[in-house]
Structures are given as structure tokens and as C-alpha cells.
Amino acid sequence: MSAPPRLFDRDLLRLRLDRAAPGYAAADFLKRRAAEDAVVRLEAIMREFPLAVDLGARNGAFREALAMSDAAQRVGTLIEADLSLRMLQGRAGPRLVADEERLPFAAGKLDLIVSTLSLHWANDVVGALIQMRRALKPDGLFIGAFLGGATLTELRQSLLTAEAELTGGAGPRISPFADAYDAAGLLQRSGFALPVADVDRVTVRYSHPLKLLADLRAMGETSVLAERHPKRLTRAILARAFEVYAERFAEPDGRLPATFEILTLTGWAPDKSQQKPLKPGSAKMRLADALGVKEHPLPRQED
């Protein structure tokens, strides 16, 4: 079996996360939104999770959101794991430096894995999900959120247009993201049972694109493409991209929207106790009887 393509430079990602760690809290609004959403989902599941992992913990947004909810009483030990050591420093509780692509957990040991806004940097998302499914006990729960394909669509279009105008060609400057339509399929391919996928689109408004770029740097979310563009992004291209951004996307008050698409996946490690879909033809009641209506056959078509 051939190895997956190397889309992202994970060493560069670690470096950028290390650099972002001291000021990460100033731009963690997406992380907190995804973490709070994960906690809301946990609150609806009335069961115990003795051993849990927050994978891609960053500044501990999930732990903080969990502590404020009723679900905290049902989660025992929570291990915070992150690619960046500096992101984990300065907090109490069990912490572990771990790479989503090479998880250190033994098979069948965890009751819950939560991963918010880190999996979109994995070169092999399915491979990472398979490792998580194997680390879970039977009927263990996975909740994951990552950035989807509509993320930064305004900035992406503006950069491509500006570069094409000024250089006669354009290359990728922003990392690719998974399509929302493929989200549930990722869980199925990874062997999870009862997969569910949801989409949350967030629009953040900025006074200038430079403010957006500053937030992306503060998040450690600037591009880490392994095959980086051979030409540097010049001031002229950036200036023209900002003009295009304003021309195409500015709102009546002059502020500029930036779209972030958060794909949230929920799946369970397979277990015999879980519900199974009925086999085709196994229904014991006609649909018309169940609905209390009279069945009308379709008119016969003549040849």
C-alpha cells in the first residue's frame, strides 16, 4: 500500500504552534467555539467516560468548557495532548506531547477522544482516525472538529486573482481543507459506527485583511504546505489582494467578512451492543399502514 501524499510540513506546524503559544488566547475564538460545541454534545450523552483524551488541546479550551458543564461529572481523567510542548506548558493536569499521525495510546484503553481544530493538518486524516478508533474501547466515543473547504474562501479568491493579474499565474497560498460532503465518509472509512457530521459556518468581520492575517498567525494556522510556492508573496501581490478583497466582499459598513467552516464529526468504536440498521426487505409493517394512509399504486405505463 502506498503512503499518503505529504501535503503538510508537520515540523513547520510544530514550530508555528510553539511560536503562537504565548499569545494564543488573543485569537482562540474558533477553538473555544468548537470546544464548547463538543461539550454540548457530551452533555446529551448520559454515560461515564473514565479516561478521556483531548487531542490537539492547544491552550486547554475544551478542559475549561467541560469544567463549566454538567458533563464534567461524567468525565474522569482528562489527558491533554498536543503537537506543541509550549501549548501545554503552565497548566495543571496530565499532559502529553503527541502527534495525531503517530498516536502513543494502546489499543482499547480510552473511553473518549475529543479533537477540536487540529485534524485538518493531518496528512492522512483517515489513518489518524483509524488510530483513534483502535485506541478507544468498544463503544468508546469520538468527537472531532476540523476546518472545512469553505474556510477562508474570500482570502483564497483574492490572493489567486491578485497573483494571476500581476504574474500571469497563481499557485496555492492557503492550505486545502476537507469538503463538508466527505465528512461523514471519513468516519465510515475509518471503521466508526453510527457516524454523524455537522457543519457550522462562522463569519468573522474585520476592518482590514491584515487583522485577519494577524489572527491566523496568532492561532498558528498559517499555511504549512509541504510543497510551498516557489515565489515569495510580494507586497505588490498582497496590496492587490487586499484591494480585490474589498472590491468583492466588503459589506455596506466597509468591514470585510472571513468565512470559517467547522466540520464536526461524532462516531463510536464498534460494539455488539450498538443498534444495527435493518436489512432491506426485513420490515414487518407496510409504510402506508404505519402512516395510516391508503396506498395508491402508480398508474401503469404503456409501452
Find out whether 155 and 245 touch, Cβ atoms under 8 Å.
yes
Closest CA to 264 of 38, 29, 28: 38
Q: Give Cα 257 to chain centroid, integer Å.
A: 20
SS3 6: coil
Q: Provide the grid cell at 96.
A: 502529553
Pairwise CA distance, residues 76 & 49, whole Å: 6
Specify the DSSP element, H or E, that contains 166: helix 153-167
pLDDT in tens, the chain (303 residues): 566 678 899 999 999 999 999 999 999 999 999 999 999 999 999 999 999 999 999 999 999 999 999 999 999 999 999 999 999 999 999 999 999 999 999 999 999 999 999 999 999 999 999 999 999 999 999 999 999 989 999 999 999 999 889 887 666 667 767 777 777 788 999 999 999 999 999 999 999 999 999 999 999 999 888 876 667 788 999 999 999 999 999 999 999 999 999 999 999 999 888 776 656 565 566 656 655 666 666 566 555
Give the pLDDT confidence score for residue 184 in this predicted structure: 75
Question: In this structure, what DSSP letter does residue 260 have?
Answer: E
Closest CA to 215 of 244, 256, 164: 256
Give the pLDDT confidence score for residue 233 in this predicted structure: 81
Assign residue 296 a region (left: φ > 0; alpha: ψ between -120 and 50; beta: otherwise).
Answer: beta
Pairwise CA distance, residues 215 & 26, whole Å: 8
Find out whether 87 and 59 touch, Cβ atoms under 8 Å.
yes
Pairwise CA distance, residues 158 & 302, whole Å: 56
